[in-house]
Structure 1
Amino acid sequence: MQYQVKILEPTDLWYLQNNINKETNKYYHPTKDIPFAQQLEIRLENSGVIIQKGSLHRCIGKLNYGIYKTDNRLKDMWVALRTEIDYNAPVYQGTGMVYLEPRQKGYFLHYTYIDLSEREQWEFDDGVFQFCSNNVVIGAKRLKFRQIAGSNDGKWRLAIKALPGQISRVVAGTTTPARVIELSRGEILIADYDMVKGYTNGIEEDYRKLGHFGKGGGEGFVWMYSGEGKLLVTENDGIGLD
C-alpha cells in the first residue's frame, strides 16, 4: 500500500475567465481567492486498505469491496460506538487506485506514514487516523479521568495493532506537520499543550499540575509522557509555521 498527496488547482479556463495570470498569481491573488484542493491517492498492489466510512471519492482497478470485521461483531459495534471508526468501515482489496474525498483550501492535512509491528499497539486522538492496511485489529482504549479533562477526545481513543506475524501500515493526518519520536526508559516528555497525537503501548500518559500553592514554575497543568515506546508529535502546533 502506497499513497500520494496531490494538490488540485483550477483549470486554465478558470484562470482566463477570472482574468488571472496563472504564471504570476498561481498561489496568491490580492483580490480573488484561488481555489485549491488536496486529494490523497492510495495505490494498491495485491493488498488492501481500510478507510473511513464516507471518505471515498472514487476507485479504479481490479478491486474487491468489503467491510472491516473481526470474528466478534459485538466488539466491532462497540468500537464504532466509542471511537471515530464507523461500523462496517469500507475495505478495498486488489490492485488499483483508491481516491479519497478532496479537502478544500483551509482544511489541508499533513500526513504521517507509520509502520506497525505485531509488538506495537498505537492509540490515536480523534480525527488523526485516516486509513490503514487491512491486516490490523482495531479496538478502543478507555481514557483516565485526568486525560479526559485535559483533551477534547471524549472517553475513548482508537487503538490499532498489526495481526500476528505481519507488518501493517497506518497513515495519520494532523493540521500541523507531525513526526514519530522514540522515548527511552528513564526519559520523560513534558508539554504545555496537546502536542502528542498518538503513542504506542509502553508509554504512560498523564495530565497533571506542576507543583502546588504557587510552587512548580507557574506552568499549571501539563501533559507528561514516560516509559518506553514511540510518540506521534506535532511540535509546530500553535506556532503558525505550517
Structure 2
Amino acid sequence: MRYQVNILEPTDDWYLQNNINKEANKLYHPTRNIPFVQQVEIHLENSGVIIQKGSLHRCMGKLTYGVYKTDNRLKDVWIAMTTETDYNAPIYKGTGAVYLEPRQKGYFLHYTAVDLLDSEQWEFDDGIFRFCSDNVVLGSKKLKVRQMAASGDGLCRVALKALPNQKGKVVLGTTAPAKMIELNKGETLIADYDFVKGFTNGITEEYKKMGHFGKGGGEGYVWIYEGVGKLLVSETEGMGLG
C-alpha cells in the first residue's frame, strides 16, 4: 500500500474566465479566492486498504469491495481484551487506485504515517483515522464523559494492532503537523489541551484537575500521561498554527 497527497488547482479556463494571470497569481490573488483541493491517492498492488467510513471519492482497477468487521478477526488478538465496541469500515483489495474525498482549501490536513509493529497496540482519536493496511485489526474504545467533553473527538477512540508476526501501517490526518515522541520510565507528560492524538498500550491517560483555582497552582483540568511507550502529538494545534 502506497499513498500520495495531491494538491489540485483550477483549470486554465478557470483562470481565463476569472481574468486572473495564472503565472503571477497562482497561489494568491488580492481580491479573488483561488480554489485549491487536497486529495489522497492510495495505490494498491495485490494488497488492501481499510478507509474511514464515508471517505471514498472513487476507485479504479481490479479491486474488490467489502466491509471490515472485527467480529471474526479479534478472537486471537490481544486488542480484543481492551476494546468494547465493534468497528466496521469499507475495505478495498486488489490492484488499482483508491481516491479519498477531496478537501477544499482551508480544510487541508497534515498526514502522518505510523508503522504498527507486532508488539504494539495504538489508540488514536477517532477523528484523525484516515486509512490503514488490511493486515491491521481495528476496534474502538469508549471514552469517559470527561474525556469526551475535553477532546471533542466523539464517543470513542480507534484501537489498532497489526496481525501477529506482521507489520501494518496506519495513516492519520490532523489539522496541524504531528510527530512521534517517546515517554520513558518515570517520566510524566502534562498538557493543558488536546496535545496527544494517540499513544501505545504502555501509556496510561488521565484527565483530571491539577490543584484548584487559587490553590495548588490553579491549572484546572489537564491531560496526564504516564508509563513507557510512544505518543503521537500535535504541538502547534493549540497555538492555532495549523
- Is 1:8 paired with 2:11? no
> 2-side partners of 1:92 and 1:160: how far apart?
18
Q: How many corresponding residue pairs?
A: 234
1:71, distance to aligned residue in structure 2 (A): 4.3
Provide the residue aligned with 2:221 in structure 1. 221
- Unaligned 5+ segments in structure 1 are 76-80
Give identity over the alignment, percent.
72
8 A Cα contact 1:65 1:92, kept in partner: yes
TM-score w.r.t. the length of structure 1 is 0.89
The aligned residue for residue 107 of structure 1 is 107
Supply the RMSD in Å over aligned alpha carbons. 2.2
Q: How does 1:167-206 map to 2 (within 5 A)?
A: 167-206=167-206
Structure 1 match to 2:234: 234
Could you list the structure 1 runs, at least 4 aligned residues long, displaced by more than 4 angstroms after superposition: none
More strand by share: 2
Who is 2:33 aligned against? 33
8 Å Cα contact 1:82/1:140 also seen in 2:
yes
Contact 1:124–1:198 (CA<8 Å) still a contact in 2?
A: yes
Alignment of 1:128-207 (within 5 A): 128-207=128-207
1:127 deviates by 1.1
Deviations for 1:201-221, whole angstroms, at most 9, x for unmatched residues? 111111122223623333221
Mapped to 2, the partners of 1:147 and 1:156 lie a distance apart of: 10
Q: Classify the secondary structure of the residue corresponding to 2:16.
A: helix
SS in 1 for 2:15: helix
Maintained 8 Å contact 1:140/1:157 = yes
* Letter of the structure 1 residue corresponding to residue 194 of structure 2: D
Secondary structure at the residue paired with 1:66? strand
The TM-score normalised by the length of structure 2 is: 0.89
1:147-170, CA deviations, whole angstroms, 9 ceiling, x for partnerless residues? 234322344221111111111100
How far 1:120 sits from its partner (Å)? 1.2
Inter-partner Cα distance in structure 1 for 2:213 and 2:59: 59
